[in-house]
Amino acid sequence: MILVSSVWKDKQTFKLIPIDKECPYNECIWDDQQHILAIVSKEKKDTYHFLPKLDDSGDIQAVKKPRPNKQPYAEQRVMIETYYEYFISDIDEISDFIDKFATNSDTFDYKKYLSKPVDIEQKTEAA
């Protein structure tokens, strides 16, 4: 895999993308809001998901009042094929994973993204 710059949820981040067919992962992405490395495998599984219910014309069926989950449309439970996902939250384990799988981990400065932002209250108390 190779490390590349990217954007996730309107923030600068990094991704790992495969560079050969033997790689076991589709992609990995650093989520700065949750402070996790999300890893998407090439392996698949069947899982249930709620999807919008469609009418005979293929349009989403609206409901008169929002459902308990606040969706303004009808939903149906459907089994679909999805990729396995893994999440690493420990910074040392993330670095170990990247060093093992990223061919450019020694030249791409991914660690600048891994530092947790300082809480405003902690910053005020320290002053």
- For the stretch 12-61, pLDDT in tens is 999 999 999 999 999 999 999 899 999 999 999 999 999 999 988 999 99
Which position has the token pair 């400065």?
A: 109
Please tell me the predicted confidence (pLDDT) of residue 124: 44
**pLDDT computed for residue 116 by the predictor:** 60
How far is the C-alpha of 37 from the C-alpha of 95, rounded, in Å?
A: 10
User: Rounded to an integer, what distance in angstroms lies between the CA atom of residue 11 and that of residue 27?
Assistant: 18
Domain ranges across the chain? 2-117
pLDDT at 70: 87
pLDDT in tens, 65-119: 888 888 899 999 999 999 999 999 999 999 999 999 999 999 999 999 987 654 4
